[in-house]
Amino acid sequence: MSHEMRADHSQPFLLPPSMEDWVPPDHPVRFIRDFVAALDLKALGFRERPSEVGRPHYANDLLLSVWLYGYMERIRSARKLEHACRTHMPLIWLTGMHYPDHNTLWRFWSAHGKALRGVLRQSVLLARQLGLVGMVVHALDGTKIAVQSSPRSALHRSDLEKLHAAIEESIAAMEAAVEAEGACEEPSSTLPDALQEAHARRAAIAEGLAQLDAHGQKHLMPGETDARMMQQANRTAWALNAQAVVDDAHGIVVGADVTNEAADFGQLGPMLDVVEEMAGATAHTTVADAVYRSAHQEIQAHEQGRGVLVPEHGRDKDNGTPYHRSQFEYDAEQDRYTCPEGQVLEYTHTKPASGNKPEARIYRCRACKHCPVRSHCTTNKTGRTLRRDAYEEFRAQQRAHRETPEAKALMRRRKAIVEPLFGHIKENMGFRRWSARGLANATVQWSMLCLAVNLKKIYARWKEQNGPNRPLPPSPRLAQRRSHAMHPLMRPTFRQRAHPA
């Protein structure tokens, strides 16, 4: 006789089943519930909606819990979340058998973008409270993520101008043909279909050029006006630039933002400000890639007491070449440079400041024309030229600092700190394209992705060290809404209540 288990759908229950039995005591959904319960949602900016008549609305903590658990489980669509609230047992437990629809979920998302970014800050503060953030070394980097619109719908000024010229020529030819035909035959009261289509195309082209003029751009994506053409995986795509700062201790994301600037140059200072806002301070040393190199922002960080370490560009590195810039000696008294061959580079003129580049003094060698090593020194027809500005001494100090063994080790380690975050989000979490339109919505979505990463690490650490029967320690910065002494994350779990010691 075969002993097999099958579902008995007619089995009656002697006592009603308890919802606490639906998920294990160490399930992440319980952690999400207690994390949200510890937040002061009103202080974070979640709007309360008092109502005395009609059907009660869904509470902010319930909807926030659904979104957080959805992002942790790769469910990022409002419609898929609506479906999961009816079929996914942890979400059924989390919502208490309430079933918010996709419109309710999306309205909550769109109305509380700034508040959702505040939740990311609370996760960083909680991680610091738990000792998961060392604040010794931070690593900064960015990644390009494509927008959801098709590149075929993009507007390009050069293409539109060529099309406009061609359609004008075509319309002129067709109108001449119509006039010649009308002189021989009885004129028609309507234009030919081909000419009407040409006029419609001309109007569409003119509208596209008007949109480009209104935004002051040569390239524009209708419906995604914040997007820019960026280099992504050896190809050009319409994308936004997602920035992140990761702590070295346990990989906690301590800063996240999104910009539509294609280049990372200029993002060092703003991202340090983001970290200070979220974590309360910056690390002892923040390591960035060479593309973030900006003497102006590095000096500002130094003046503010923020330690930064940015390697030199490949073109600026001294790779042992005898005629690298660092081999030229500067004489401050005579205000001139001397090259390794003993030739003098005299001051010629001052170049005014432009953009982030300060005013600079230009020095040029007059003996390059007959120098035997000219081909190894410069390709400039006017002679070897050096530029010296107010940042020169700071660059020399930074260059000497980068040559220390400690700095070299940190620069080598930068990739291992921050780049796994992008690989995890793109591969493990399956996020390769923005599903929200606009820079503001993309910023919220990136914050939620980084928040999900932080919550997973906090939960894994708690489960590894404390076990399911010992909840997280209290966080005074989070426990603002509760008046009693016990922090929500300190409440006994279901197993503890059922089996007290």
* Gap between the Cα atoms of 172 and 167, Å rounded: 8
SS3 197: helix
* Gap between the Cα atoms of 35 and 499, Å rounded: 24
Kindly give the pairing relationship between strand 385-389 and strand 329-331: unpaired
Neighbours of 46 (CB within 10 A): 23
- Ordered alpha helix ranges (H), 185-216: 193-215
- What 3 state SS string does 146-162 have? ECCCCHHHCEEHHHHHH
**Which residues in 280-296 are b (16+ Cβ under 10 Å) and which e?**
eebbebbbbbbbbbbbb
Which residues neighbour 34 within 8 Å (Cβ) at sequence distance 6 or greater? Answer: 471, 472, 488, 489, 491
Neighbours of 239 (CB within 10 A): 23
* Gap between the Cα atoms of 462 and 465, Å rounded: 5
Give the per-residue pLDDT at 21. 83
Question: How would residue 498 be classed by pLDDT, with cut points 50, 70 and 90?
Answer: very low
Tens-digit pLDDT profile for residues 432-459 = 999 888 899 999 999 999 999 999 999 9
Give whichever of 259-263, 328-332, 474-478 has the largest mean pLDDT.
259-263
SS3 118: helix
Half-sphere exposure of 325 (CA within 13 A, CB side): 14
Q: Residues in the chain, how many?
A: 501
SS3 221: coil
- What 3 state SS string does 253-283 have? EEEEEEECCCCCCCCHHHHHHHHHHHHCCCC
**What would you report as the CA-atom Rg of the chain, rounded to the nearest whole angstrom?**
31
Neighbours of 485 (CB within 10 A): 8
Tens-digit pLDDT profile for residues 372-392 = 888 888 888 888 888 888 888
What letter does residue 484 receive in the DSSP assignment?
S
Give the per-residue pLDDT at 470. 54
> Is the pLDDT score of 293 beyond 90?
no
Cβ-defined contacts of 2-7 (< 8 Å, 24+)? none
SS3 117: helix
Half-sphere exposure of 358 (CA within 13 A, CB side): 11
Half-sphere exposure of 128 (CA within 13 A, CB side): 21
In the structure encoding, which two tokens stand for residue 193, read together? 């279909």
Which has the minimum average pLDDT: 103-107, 317-321, 376-380, 424-428? 317-321
Class for the domain spanning 137-147+231-310+400-428? alpha beta
Tens-digit pLDDT profile for residues 117-142 = 999 999 999 999 888 999 999 999 99
Token look-up 């490949």 returns 314
Tens-digit pLDDT profile for residues 183-201 = 555 555 556 777 778 878 8
Neighbours of 273 (CB within 10 A): 14
User: 320: alpha, beta or left, given left = phi > 0 and alpha = psi -120 to 50?
Assistant: left
Give the per-residue pLDDT at 485. 36
Question: How would residue 107 be classed by pLDDT, with cut points 50, 70 and 90?
Answer: very high
* Gap between the Cα atoms of 227 and 437, Å rounded: 9
Average the pLDDT over 346-362 and give the result. 84
Torsion of CA 43, 46, 52, 57, to 10 degrees: -140
Query: Counting Cβ atoms within 10 Å, is residue 368 exposed (0-12), middle (13-18) or buried (19+)?
Result: buried
